[in-house]
Structure 1
Amino acid sequence: MFKSSFLIGICFLFLFSCAPKEPEKRNTPLEFALGSDHPKIKRVMDSLAAYEVQIRYTQIHRKGRQVDFTDFDFQVDSSNYFYPASTVKFPIVVTALEKLNETKTLDLNTRFYVEGDSVETTFSEAISQIFAVSDNQAANRLIDFLGQDSINHRLHKRGISPVRIWQRLDDPNDNVTTTPLIVYENDSTTTMRSPLISAYPQPLDLQGIRKGIGFYDEEDSLIQEAFDFSLKNYYPISAQHDLLKRIIFPERFDSLQRFALSEGQRSFLLKAMHTVPRQAGYDPTKYHDGYGKFFMYGDTTEEIPEHIEIYNKVGFAYGTLTDCAYIKDAKNKVEFMLTATILVNKNGIFNDDTYEYKEIGLPFLAELGRQLHAYELMRRKQE
């Protein structure tokens, strides 16, 4: 399970109380957090096989302008499939920004609409909606701008692999030909951009690609066989974490691995990733701060304190909750990166909307974030 210090640390794994204790030198951050006796952690760890948990945690070490990373893994395995849901919107946005940067006639403020769609938007509005409330249609419009092959090629070119993104979000359309974009050159003149054709994907051959004991089909009939994810999106923990590193710390990567974003684009992206729904004008009673911030705040309706900055993208669907985040505590000078996924589908039936998100999944991810934040606070005191 653990890549770091597992054999030494396992005997201490369940010795911690709910209140964080001083981290011992031989205990890794994940051993500390997952060894907590807090019920939100313990009930998952006590039945670990049921939840398909994968976690990657990165400590950040600064010395002057130099930044170094130490990674810690728990059950991370790119060959063990989980459904990434809306986390794929992060790479869709990044690759869309890169294409905008290459296209002289377009920018973030360019207005456009998809042929047959009554909604006009701008690229900046679409990106803001994606991060504030995980808007599916906004993401699908960016897919029509890019084409699936372009998304995957751009990611692979920068070393983000393995990954395969081709499925639209909350849309039965599996067409690999994009719908044309109608772009405003000015207030009255529009131009149609040609549709893009991508290759139809091959079925994924991965562990866990068929899950559960049944599912409801499009006609709402229960099919009593495992649910097949082989033609869904594929975006494992390692790829998610690598993309986050490149966006938060681009200076740590050479030019071939960095995405070609302008400084203005990157600043806009970081602001969008950090913004909570109420700051974007959404009703906070419907979309509380933790709606899109699972770590530390996913199980509460309280506002996130100003000194806690979370730059992330979450996903939840088919009983799977995933978050990929850079968390910075400006007041206490603590920062770390965390990517984790958990499956909560006790009855093994997919598409029945009976998942333990609020009961198990969100509390686990929130407490995981709090435990690791507490660990880093204590580690800083010891430095």
Structure 2
Amino acid sequence: MKYWVFIIVIFASCSNPIETALSSKNELIKTVVDNIEKHEVQILFTQIDTSNTGELLFTDYEYNVNSNQYFYPASTVKLPVALLATEFMDRNEQLHIDTPYIENNNDNLHTVSNDIRQIFAVSDNESYNRLYEILGRDYINNRLREKGLSKTRIVHRLSTPDADKARRNDIHFFPGYTEEVIELKNQTDSDITPITIQGINKGKGYKKHGVLKESPMDFSKKNYFPLEEQHLLMKKLIAPEIFPASEQFDITDESRARFLNAMKALPHEAKYNAPEYYDSYVKFFMYGDSEDSIPSNIKIYNKVGSAYGTLTETAYIVDTTNNIRFILSATILVNENAIFNDDTYEYENIGIPFLAQLGREFYKQEKERRE
């Protein structure tokens, strides 16, 4: 039987791996550290070890983590919604993640398993939106609270008109030739309650319908997925047994294995073979600033988000050759002109290189610990 021990360390000790990473002389790190408050950086890092008696040890470190300081989570919200959709299907005896369904009488057949494949392989928005239509914001948020993610708030679709509308599209599931169609029809969610935390109004201006508005952009009715709860959810995925049964997600072992496999799959492994879908297309840590192939011994179970100048990733990183495994979550804002929704952000020259190098810094430290 395996036991887990948690040790939490705040960013203070001279042996703190986050401090070591941020003290790197690498310019990709230094560029951000020199203006780190402006970039709203938050970092969580968990070392994973095994004791001589078989205990699995989690040692947590954090930097500037504040669940009451808002940042836009972008596509990271696809992770909990995909997990909840898996659970929703598993909890219904007539359904399965491979059960075909259609949305709004459209002829195109989908499955939750295929939606999940697309979400993790290329961060597909339409797949996420379909799962949102199945679940709805009331179910999503109530269920997340039940599972210990009380500060997360998911209230809208992504990159689509009327993303926050309360009325949801109809869904028709087709369990089999001899079974009746299961319908989710006429579903309407409650109105959105604005968030009231720090940093909810951002920047000095924003663009709306191409017109510059010279006032901060209001994010109070947007999604929120704080970094500490992203990190927590990753732990619940890779080690559900360490949490009370009431806080574990109710999915089968088969569904969990398939979910984790989808999380780590590279685009070409998920049937995306176009040149633009290189290995690190949606994996920022360690490899995000390169289009080279990711070595086969490196497995990255992750979800990234990128929007409004904010880049975020939570990842469980495993090196099967060197017996390395750790969890890393980080977010960074790169919006030099402080104008939101203008598509002018420093993703490629500051944000993604920083996250890539940050991942390499922690990997290097972990490798040295194993030597």
TM class, shorter-length? over 0.9
In structure 2, stretches of 5+ residues that fail to align are: 1-7
TM superposition shift of 1:65: 4.5
Residue in 2 aligned with 1:127?
Answer: 116
Alignment of 1:57-96 (within 5 A): 57-63=45-51, 65-96=54-85
Per the alignment, in what secondary structure is the counterpart of residue 341 of structure 1? Answer: strand
Per the alignment, in what secondary structure is the counterpart of residue 265 of structure 1? Answer: helix
Residue in 1 aligned with 2:97?
Answer: 108
**Contact 1:274–1:309 (8 Å) recurs in 2:** yes
**C-alpha distance in 2 between matches for 1:5 and 1:315:** 25
**C-alpha distance in 1 between matches for 2:132 and 2:12:** 45
Residue in 1 aligned with 2:251?
Answer: 261
Residue in 2 aligned with 1:214?
Answer: 205
TM superposition shift of 1:231: 0.3
TM superposition shift of 1:7: 4.9
Give, as a single letter, the amino acid of the residue that structure 2 aligns with 1:50. K
Residue in 2 aligned with 1:199?
Answer: 190
**Contact 1:147–1:177 (8 Å) recurs in 2:** no
Per the alignment, in what secondary structure is the counterpart of residue 359 of structure 1? Answer: helix
Instruction: Kindly indicate whether residue 151 of structure 2 is the aligned counterpart of residue 162 of structure 1.
Output: yes
Residue in 2 aligned with 1:228?
Answer: 218
Instruction: Kindly indicate whether residue 95 of structure 2 is the aligned counterpart of residue 142 of structure 1.
Output: no
Give, as a single letter, the amino acid of the residue that structure 2 aligns with 1:269. F
**C-alpha distance in 2 between matches for 1:222 and 1:35:** 38
TM superposition shift of 1:194: 2.3
Give identity over the alignment, percent. 43
Q: Which moved more, 1:244-253 or 1:197-206?
A: 197-206
**Contact 2:10–2:61 (8 Å) recurs in 1:** no
Q: Give RMSD over aligned pairs.
A: 1.5
Per the alignment, in what secondary structure is the counterpart of residue 37 of structure 2? Answer: helix
**C-alpha distance in 2 between matches for 1:195 and 1:70:** 47
**C-alpha distance in 2 between matches for 1:125 and 1:329:** 27
**Contact 1:67–1:252 (8 Å) recurs in 2:** no
Residue in 2 aligned with 1:346?
Answer: 336
**Contact 1:55–1:74 (8 Å) recurs in 2:** yes
In structure 1, stretches of 5+ residues that fail to align are: 10-26
Instruction: Kindly indicate whether residue 46 of structure 2 is the aligned counterpart of residue 55 of structure 1.
Output: no
CA pair 205-68 structure 1, distance change in 2 beyond 3 A: same
- Of 281, 293, 311, 1:303 maps to 293
TM superposition shift of 1:81: 0.4
**Contact 2:315–2:329 (8 Å) recurs in 1:** yes
**Contact 2:11–2:62 (8 Å) recurs in 1:** no
Instruction: Kindly indicate whether residue 310 of structure 2 is the aligned counterpart of residue 316 of structure 1.
Output: no
**C-alpha distance in 2 between matches for 1:181 and 1:32:** 50
Q: Which moved more, 1:176-185 or 1:290-299?
A: 176-185
Alignment deviations for residues 141-189 of structure 1 (CA, whole Å, 9 cap, x no partner): 1111111111111111111121100111112322122111022233597
**C-alpha distance in 1 between matches for 2:33 and 2:283:** 22
**Contact 2:264–2:302 (8 Å) recurs in 1:** yes
**Contact 2:264–2:300 (8 Å) recurs in 1:** yes
CA pair 117-75 structure 1, distance change in 2 beyond 3 A: farther
Per the alignment, in what secondary structure is the counterpart of residue 361 of structure 1? Answer: helix
**C-alpha distance in 1 between matches for 2:20 and 2:183:** 55
Residue in 2 aligned with 1:17?
Answer: none
Residue in 1 aligned with 2:4?
Answer: none
Residue in 2 aligned with 1:33?
Answer: 21
State the number of aligned residues. 361
CA pair 202-249 structure 1, distance change in 2 beyond 3 A: same
Alignment deviations for residues 197-249 of structure 1 (CA, whole Å, 9 cap, x no partner): 222121111111111111110x2111111111100001000110111100011
